[in-house]
Structure 1
Amino acid sequence: MGLARGSYAPPPGGGRGGIQPAEDVLVARLRALVKRHGGWGFWKYYYHLRKLRVVVNHKCLWRIYQLMNLQFGKRRKKKRLPERVKRPLEVPTQPNVCWSLDFMSDALTGGRRFRTLNVIEDWNWEVLGIEVDFSLSATRVVALLTMLVHRHGIPARIRVDNGPELISQVLQAWCQAQGIDLHWIQPASPMQNAYIERFNGSFRRDLLNAYLFTSLRQVREQCQRWQYDYNHLRPHQALNFLTPIEFRQAA
């Protein structure tokens, strides 16, 4: 019929979309990169693979890239959540093993709502910081954590829930730069963050529900006093009735 053989021959790898069996390892490496760095383009993946000493020709990688429909405009736009892994709630034996972090909210007498960002040390239940404002972005989270790291050192892990500020690239990038393992609890599983949940109960009962606030200034002043009392004056049964500061000094 005068047709060239290439016009009717099956594609290489028959039935596998043109991907050869020998390329399975490369496909897996590329898929893992795209999963972790979804915002990158082809050339970033290519040069990153080269830095990882993966021997690959850019034309070959581009063919696989196209067959996998990884062109940026063709990818799904749905936001991917970080992986959640259930971990046992360990009892730290020294400081800076794990910090817990969570948000709470309340309202001023005028009706305007405010938020607090609470950070505690799991080891001795010490309140490391309480940030208060009408809005607390991921940038504010990083600013508070940066100050606390300068004051107390770098924790090995920070445990958080699934709030939008806590799954942001800003916080993830900061933790990665500090060498901190950012651990998200599983959705609807507050007991996986039991240390901060227990603290939140005391914070709600003894402070937020106990006072009427007319301004952020009043909230911040009361939080500062309450944090001092909690750390220096309030004994904890789990700490052999020592205060968090006494427990730290004894250790």
Structure 2
Amino acid sequence: MIVLFVLGIVLLAYAAIKGVTRHEVRWPALVVGLILTVLMGLGLQRAQERHFLMAKVPVEKTQKIAPALTINGIKLITTQKASDGELRYTYTLGKKSYQTVTQNAKTIVKTADKQATLKTEVMTYQATSGWRRFMLLGQETFEKGAATYTLSVPKDWYFVTTSQAKTLQNMVKDSKAGIAKEVAAEVKQQFADKAKADKNFIKNKDAQTKLQAQIVTDVTNKANQALDQAMLEKIQSWHN
């Protein structure tokens, strides 16, 4: 369009020069130049505003993703509010963490059967033919439009904010500290009980090691079950 717009200006200039120098009107040059200048000028304006003469071409990509965090076996996608008030979702791809964007984009969350995926669809505008590329000569022939993210995750994955994820991590830390104290108390109590029931227990290092290992396993399993329940209840309370 720039070429034809310039051609229109040249024809108008030619008609004007002839009119001044020879005192005659070059109607074909004047009319064609005027039409080209007006139409191509409007076309250039529309091209900047409405992707004029470009075709919509969606570009799609689907990737398998992993949770942003796994805390005590609970898989989490973390969220963070962007400056525009929309949520950004953090996930893991390979060994790196990524976030969805909110500028000129939206995210749709769906439930998946097994594999978590992120489908990215970007609407592009392209000059898909030689004629369109000629008409847009000197202008952009490829532009990116809005993006749509479709985040599909299994039912046993949860969405929490980054601050809520820290709360869950602190719950794990407190639970581990409690396990150490509980193990120490149980070892002291059960060793004393065993020593009363069996005088040889104090000298039997293998029996002591076996009992201590069993105590650690029992206390840890019990604490982890309680922690899982507490964490799930905490997550549910955030979504109520």
TM-score by length of 2: 0.25
The TM-score, its normalising length taken from structure 1, stands at: 0.24
Larger radius of gyration: 2
More helix by share: 2
